Chain A
Amino acid sequence: NAGVMQNPRHLVRRRGQEARLRCSPMKGHSHVYWYRQLPEEGLKFMVYLQKENIIDESGMPKERFSAEFPKEGPSILRIQQVVRGDSAAYFCASSPIGLAGDREQFFGPGTRLTVL
């Protein structure tokens, strides 16, 4: 039973380029979450999606960042016109179809974005 998959594991972009981060949730999971982690800091929530729906994007920057979770395929976190401050580790987590009280999230290995 494969866990949460993320690719690429490492991504290097120059300022102004676009970054696309992919996340495939665990089998049977229809809830996906994206978090960002700066060095020596905790994870910060960005966005929560279900298939074809953005449920909570309260942690997403208003500009340049977008996320989707299409009916088919992985969830995508897209960062346009990257700046050096976007350099961070981006983690995806998934959880099963929500059951009462079942709120554990399983994390992927992360994508480490470096902006030159």
Chain B
Amino acid sequence: GESVGLHLPTLSVQEGDNSIINCAYSNSASDYFIWYKQESGKGPQFIIDIRSNMDKRQGQRVTVLLNKTVKHLSLQIAATQPGDSAVYFCAENESTGFQKLVFGTGTRLLVSP
């Protein structure tokens, strides 16, 4: 069956460091991926997405890398700030489906001042 998993459940970094959050997916037919940020008591907030015809996409302080060969996705956050502390989820979607997102279990990012 489809599954999305993460290698690190908790990541602790110092303010100003760069953070890397990893995600593995198992559905080779997935062709769209999203990273969400979820703060305590809130709904997931869109960060960045990438389609399978790309290897890399950059946003403001964030970069997503996609390696289709090993079915691996990563989120890089530059100059991590305390406000970045949250749980980060990767989610995948297969275009032949009905926009159903399959979420991983999440990585908690803790940023110390």
Number of interface residues of B (CB under 8 A): 26
Of B46, B49, B89, B95, the residue contacting A43 (CB under 8 A) is B89
Contact flag A43-B44 (CB < 8 Å), given A101-B51, A103-B32, A104-B34:
yes
Residues in chain A near residue B76, CB distance under 8 A: none
Per-residue contact bits, chain A 78-107, to B (CB 8 Å; 1 contact, 0 not):
000000000000010001001001011111
Instruction: Evaluate whether A110 and B43 lie within 8 angstroms (CB atoms) in the complex, with A42-B106, A43-B89 already known.
Output: yes
A56 near B32: Cβ-Cβ < 8 Å: no
| CB-based contact A42/B43 at 8 Å | no
**Interface size, chain A (Cβ < 8 Å):** 27
Contact between B45 and A42 (Cβ–Cβ < 8 Å)? Answer: no
Assess whether B105 is interfacial by the CB under 8 Å rule: yes
In B17-43, the 8 Å CB interface with A consists of: 32, 34, 36, 41-43
Q: Which residues of B does A touch, CB under 8 Å? A: 4, 32, 34, 36, 41-46, 49, 51, 89, 91, 93, 95, 97-106
Binding site for B on A (CB under 8 A): 4, 31, 33, 35, 40-45, 48, 55-56, 58-59, 91, 95, 98, 101, 103-110
